[in-house]
Chains A and B, each alone.
Chain A
Amino acid sequence: MTGVHLTAPSVASTAPPTSRMAEPATGGRFGDHGGRFVPESLVAACAEVERTFREAWSDATFRQRLDRLRTVYAGRPTALTPAPNLSAELGLTVLLKREDLTHTGSHKINNVLGQALLAHRMGRTRLLAETGAGQHGVAAATAAALLGLDATVFMGERDMERQELNVFRMTMLGAQVIPVRSGSRTLKDACNEVLRHWVATVDDAYYCAGSVMGPHPYPWMVREFQRVIGEEARAQCAAELPAAVPTHVVACVGGGSNAAGTFAGFVDTDAQLVGVEAAGGAAMTDGAVGVVHGYRSRVLQDADGQVAEAHSIAPGLDYPGVGPEHAHLGDIRRARYVTVTDDEVVAALRRLARTEGILCALESAHAIAWVLRAAGTAELPSGSTVLITVSGRGDKDMPALMAAGR
């Protein structure tokens, strides 16, 4: 990179609000990242989503409807589970925020309930979603069924082969799953395809992004819908820990929505925020600044700016970009981002299962794996109190682990 950016950093980009995970600066900027890099034909649609979200988010009736669905439908608040056996083995106090216990089995439900209500408010009849592992697709299909919307889910052909069960789940829920055959036939191509489709259907369809990515307002809006993870955990930690706040808050990062939601609850504390990426899909560690899927952030790419494919055993982390707010939190050093290997992840999944009886998703096992590696080192000294977000349950990953002989 030269010092010249495509978008000159705005005056507001260094203002404090973005560092506290509040509202982004004008135009959806998180420092130098974010923005709305979409074709002119999508600008009006994004602006309408932003306008409606702003209204809804300050509308008590909307918030009450969402809160009620979170409680009676999604099963919130989710538990904060102390992990006594793992804690004793590691010389730490480990607390697990149990998003795996939600309806549909991952944190994705938090986001789709909010966005489906928004789509409903906007009078749209159809949700469009991209999915990699299928977790967001299943969640979107679920929320659509609940609210009487149609759901069209775009999924890379290769991912459909790898995640047959989730494809079937989406179909059972009444969603139409469209195989994406372009490019690498994975999540990044599904992200392109859903935007291509949205351009042509903006009048009746609502784009329901699956993570803290996409054009403004999506990274901000999805983080706000996921903030419930961090806010619940903050209150639960206060009841559980003498110091009220853990010393470390750890979550896995693909696009980064469960991490963003978790960090939002602790960004104003002294807790160290740690995002754990897959070694083969580490946009924060290995990416260069770029623009994909409507936003500016770190992106895995070559010297010409061709976007690279990510490779991870966890399909939900197989994504070459990362949410723009994470890029910003990394830039200002409020959060740090680390990587773990597939082998460490499988070992971590197994260890959590055997010590605590919790079979977590491969994605979530990334957060566990870093804690296992760092425990007792300067990064995570003995006696630390660690909150780990378990973003989802591992049932979906059993066929792949069985097939791999793991």
Chain B
Amino acid sequence: MSGQLATALRTAPAPRLVPYVTGGITANWTDYLLAYQDSGADAVEVGLPFSDPMLDGATLQQASDRALARGTRLDGVLADLAAVRDRLTVPVVVMTYANPVVRLGVVEFCRRLAEAGASGLIVPDVPVDELGSLESVAAVAGIDLVLLAAPSTSAGRLREICARSRGFVYAVSTMGVTGERTALDDGALTLASRAREASDLPVLLGFGVSTPAQAARACRAADGVVVASALMRKVLEGAGPDRLARIVADFRAAMDRAA
């Protein structure tokens, strides 16, 4: 029914915070994961860089491009993850697009994620209707397959998504791609509330959660947030793990205050 990711998020005492880093963005990219953990992350999300990230806005596209330009390969990202798994006590959720999963084969892909210590998987271009064998293969490998819900998701689909998602339900805050925004869409809180009614799992809002204040506001309706572009913009600007630790700590503090 549920693995390490589900357990960690279910038992978290406060709003859940899941910060993101693009795997291979720098030579020492796993230091960001450790920094996030030290600053109160409940789980960390690692994006596998991909040539055609169709659901990502400019910041995460650029991060992906930069990681690939450094020669980042899947093997390297997974080896780096395996190397820090003893020091990472929070669960790791991997985000990738469908193509690398299909290319490697679903079984092999999930086996290698598990081997590297990952406990969750997000594949944003595989909607619930297209899961096929991925759902059962991930479960057998001990990987929680996290499904996404969007503001346009009908009530019927939302029930199905909530029933079949594992770990948490990823509520996409806006009809759009990833990227920072000046305000959280009103639809975001509505969707989070709808998802919470439909699910026993924690519901985390993501896409465009850009500031600690927005994260705090999101937690009025959601059980937590995923923060990606706001952090990766800083990484792209050259900010190191220490700087990112402080930013994540600010998110943590704002969310805890609001709780």
A92 to chain B, nearest CB (A): 41
B115 to chain A, nearest CB (A): 16
**Given A304-B73, A304-B100, A307-B52, residue A5 in contact with residue B124 (CB < 8 A):** no
> Which residues does chain B contribute within 8 Å of A293, judged by CB atoms?
52, 54
B258 within 8 A of A: no
Which of B65, B102, B125 has a CB less than 8 Å from the CB of A183? B65
B44 to chain A, nearest CB (A): 22
Interface pair A41/B102, CB less than 8 Å apart: no
List 30 contacting pairs A-B, 8 Å CB cutoff, sorted by A.
Answer: A1-B102, A1-B105, A2-B105, A3-B105, A4-B106, A4-B133, A4-B137, A7-B131, A27-B129, A27-B130, A35-B130, A37-B98, A38-B127, A40-B127, A40-B150, A40-B157, A44-B154, A182-B65, A183-B61, A183-B65, A199-B175, A202-B175, A290-B103, A291-B97, A291-B126, A292-B99, A303-B103, A305-B101, A305-B102, A306-B50
Number of residue pairs A-B, CB distance < 8 angstroms: 153
Which of A41, A303, A305 has a CB less than 8 Å from the CB of B99? A305
Assembled-state Cα–Cα distance A200/B101 (Å): 26
> Which residues does chain A contribute within 8 Å of B137, judged by CB atoms?
4
B236 within 8 A of A: no
B148 to chain A, nearest CB (A): 5
Interface pair B133/A39, CB less than 8 Å apart: no
Assembled-state Cα–Cα distance A226/B225 (Å): 46
Q: Of all chain A residues, which has the CB nearest B110?
A: A4
Q: Of all chain B residues, which has the CB nearest A299?
A: B99
B51 within 8 A of A: yes
**Given A6-B106, A305-B102, residue A199 in contact with residue B55 (CB < 8 A):** yes
Assembled-state Cα–Cα distance A183/B62 (Å): 9
Assembled-state Cα–Cα distance A125/B157 (Å): 28
Interface pair B125/A8, CB less than 8 Å apart: no
A321 to chain B, nearest CB (A): 10
A207 to chain B, nearest CB (A): 12
Interface pair A195/B54, CB less than 8 Å apart: yes
List 16 extra interface pairs beyond A43-B157, A183-B65, A305-B99, CB under 8 A: A2-B107, A5-B106, A6-B102, A7-B130, A8-B132, A35-B130, A183-B52, A183-B61, A192-B52, A196-B176, A199-B176, A289-B102, A290-B98, A304-B103, A305-B101, A306-B68
Interface pair A196/B55, CB less than 8 Å apart: yes
B79 within 8 A of A: no
B108 within 8 A of A: yes
> Which residues does chain A contribute within 8 Å of B131, judged by CB atoms?
7
Binary interface profile of B, 49-74, with partner A (CB < 8 Å = 1, else 0)? 01111110110010001001000011
> Which residues does chain A contribute within 8 Å of B98, judged by CB atoms?
6, 37, 290-291
A288 within 8 A of B: yes
Query: Could you list which residues of chain A lie within 8 angstroms of chain B, going by C-beta atoms?
Result: 1-8, 27, 35-41, 43-45, 182-183, 188-189, 191-192, 195-196, 199-200, 202, 288-294, 296, 299, 301, 303-307
Q: Of all chain B residues, which has the CB nearest A309?
A: B51
Assembled-state Cα–Cα distance A192/B161 (Å): 25
Interface pair A39/B55, CB less than 8 Å apart: yes
Interface pair A41/B152, CB less than 8 Å apart: yes
Q: Of all chain B residues, which has the CB nearest A9?
A: B132
B204 to chain A, nearest CB (A): 14
A55 to chain B, nearest CB (A): 19
Chain B residues numbered 173-230 whose CB sits less than 8 Å from any CB in chain A? 174-177
Interface pair A6/B175, CB less than 8 Å apart: no
B12 within 8 A of A: no
Q: Of all chain A residues, which has the CB nearest B72?
A: A304
Interface pair B99/A40, CB less than 8 Å apart: no
Interface pair A304/B74, CB less than 8 Å apart: yes
B151 within 8 A of A: yes
Interface pair B130/A36, CB less than 8 Å apart: yes
Interface pair A39/B125, CB less than 8 Å apart: yes
Interface pair B102/A296, CB less than 8 Å apart: yes
Which of B50, B153, B161, B177 has a CB less than 8 Å from the CB of A196? B177
> Which residues does chain B contribute within 8 Å of A189, judged by CB atoms?
52
B159 to chain A, nearest CB (A): 14
B22 to chain A, nearest CB (A): 14
> Which residues does chain A contribute within 8 Å of B108, judged by CB atoms?
2
B14 within 8 A of A: no
Interface pair A40/B51, CB less than 8 Å apart: no
Interface pair A307/B127, CB less than 8 Å apart: no
Q: Of all chain A residues, which has the CB nearest B149?
A: A40
B40 to chain A, nearest CB (A): 29
**Given A304-B73, A306-B51, residue A294 in contact with residue B125 (CB < 8 A):** yes
